Amino acid sequence: MILLLAVILPVLAALAIVIGGRKAPPARGRNWLLAGAVCHLLLCLMTLRLGKSWTILTIHDQEWLALDRFSSTILLLTSALFLWVAIHCRFWLKAEKQLLEINQAEPGASAHGRLLPEWIFLPCLLAFLAAMTLAICASNLGLMWVAIEATTLVSAPLICFHRSAAALEAMWKYLLICSVGIGLALLGTFFVALADESHFGLNLAILAGRAEALDARWCKAAFILILAGYGTKMGLAPFHTWLPDAHSEAPGPVSALLSAALLNCSFLGILRFTQFMPESLHDFCKTLLLALGFLSLATAAFFIIRQHDFKRMLAYSSVEHMGLLALLWGCGMRDLTMQTATLWHLIGHSLLKMVLFLVAGNILLAYGTRSVTAVKGMFSSTTRNAFLFIAAVLLVCGTPPSPLFVTELLLVCQLGPWGGGAVLLLLFLVCAGMLSTVLKMCMGTSTRFANETRPARLAEELFAVPAVVLMLAILFGGAVCFWLTRMNVWW
């Protein structure tokens, strides 16, 4: 019941904003957003305390919504991330409006400053939260598919917040590529239904119990399609082409949500399917996951070096970490420590990527460009954002207090000398590429703020939420290190 409420409440809040319409004062919509996010987080916290009967929704003896170890963690994470974004949005939207006024006051201002109206933007954000919640909680493969497709649809308008030609192009690619990919996943879901000769439906719990009775050939075909389908949405390498475009064109908070929350949902989709594969297919699944994981890492390393656009660089870093998740899960499908490591990696990546994209949004606000060569002297002009950016980049590359350090170390130990060596080399390349770009952005002197310092000041005022999330990520990393030392899994 609680899960159903968690899905419905954001939708109700979204409706409230839409009914308010375009005439309502902007603060009211932002308040609804915040209220929806807070209530959602409270409901998710309640699921931790309440017993099973509250967190499972059954209709006609069929389980529709349920939580397990993975989904409850991801649900809580998503909800918390959304609340932070909602708080950030409250101030960020105001800053965007002010920036628009500044730009229009300048002589020779063009029409390039059109924004999506808030009474469309905010409801889409809330509906996005609802769709993600449904995708995480669904314990029926069909329902999960419906929810994941819904996340694509409601997040597409969000990418177009700055209504430019480039944003439209990114949105079109996102819609088309992801929909085709997810269509393949639907075909894969049908194949799973065919694999089960008794036709008990697509319920996860039932399928997991009947894993050995499933037809291995159909399961094999299904897994390939699912990996291609949900892999597209997750951003695994050969299917990642929409990701850098969408993440670079979307405004900061939206890219933060796309990267930190949405990719996890699609990963959960792939994870679900590995849970009921028959024993004979485990090696097959592992090989595929490892191959795509390595390919993603290599692609990311290749494109991050000498990347000209700092948001694209972060997007490729997301591709890299999705590849690492695929590697971790490929190694640890049946290994409890590695499963936990996968979850840690996912949490750590989400927290850090949220910081990075929010700060990148601030930098974009201040400088008005995403080009690495045009952004210079961040230390002197936007000091707080520069420090946050450098710290978060160091952490996301796996520098020790980060939780990613621990999980990447576990992964390298698990993969043996050749695989581990390759992963280390690629990680080093990614780290070198990102750091050289970021240092270039931070050093030097900028001429941009010689006579107009207001954009920089606006960006400086938006540092609070990323700073808090960064602290949390560091604390989480410390906790992971401490816990592993106590469990004595180090060597």
Residues that bind other proteins (CB under 8 A): 62, 64, 140, 142-143, 145-146, 149-150, 152-153, 156-157, 160, 163, 165-166, 168-173, 175-176, 179-180, 183, 186-187, 190, 193-194, 199, 201-202, 215, 217-218, 244-245, 248-249, 303, 307-308, 312, 371, 373
Cα-flanking dihedrals φ and ψ of residue 65, to 5°?
A: -120, 135
CB of 312 to other proteins, least distance (A): 7
- Whichever of 49 and 199 has its CB closer to other proteins, that residue is 199
CB of 183 to other proteins, least distance (A): 6
CB of 419 to other proteins, least distance (A): 27
CB of 341 to other proteins, least distance (A): 31
Contact 84, 468 (CB under 8 A): yes
CB of 228 to other proteins, least distance (A): 12
Cα-flanking dihedrals φ and ψ of residue 325, to 5°?
A: -60, -40
CB of 235 to other proteins, least distance (A): 15
Nearest to 313 by CA among 217, 486, 186, 433: 433
| CA–CA dist 239, 228 (Å, integer) | 7
CB of 213 to other proteins, least distance (A): 15
- CB neighbours of residue 97 within 10 Å: 13
CB of 36 to other proteins, least distance (A): 20
| CA–CA dist 194, 221 (Å, integer) | 11
Burial status of residue 287 (CB atoms within 10 A of its CB: 0-12, 13-18, 19 or more): exposed
| CA–CA dist 476, 395 (Å, integer) | 12
- Whichever of 1 and 475 has its CB closer to other proteins, that residue is 1
Tokens of 102: 């500044």
- Whichever of 183 and 478 has its CB closer to other proteins, that residue is 183
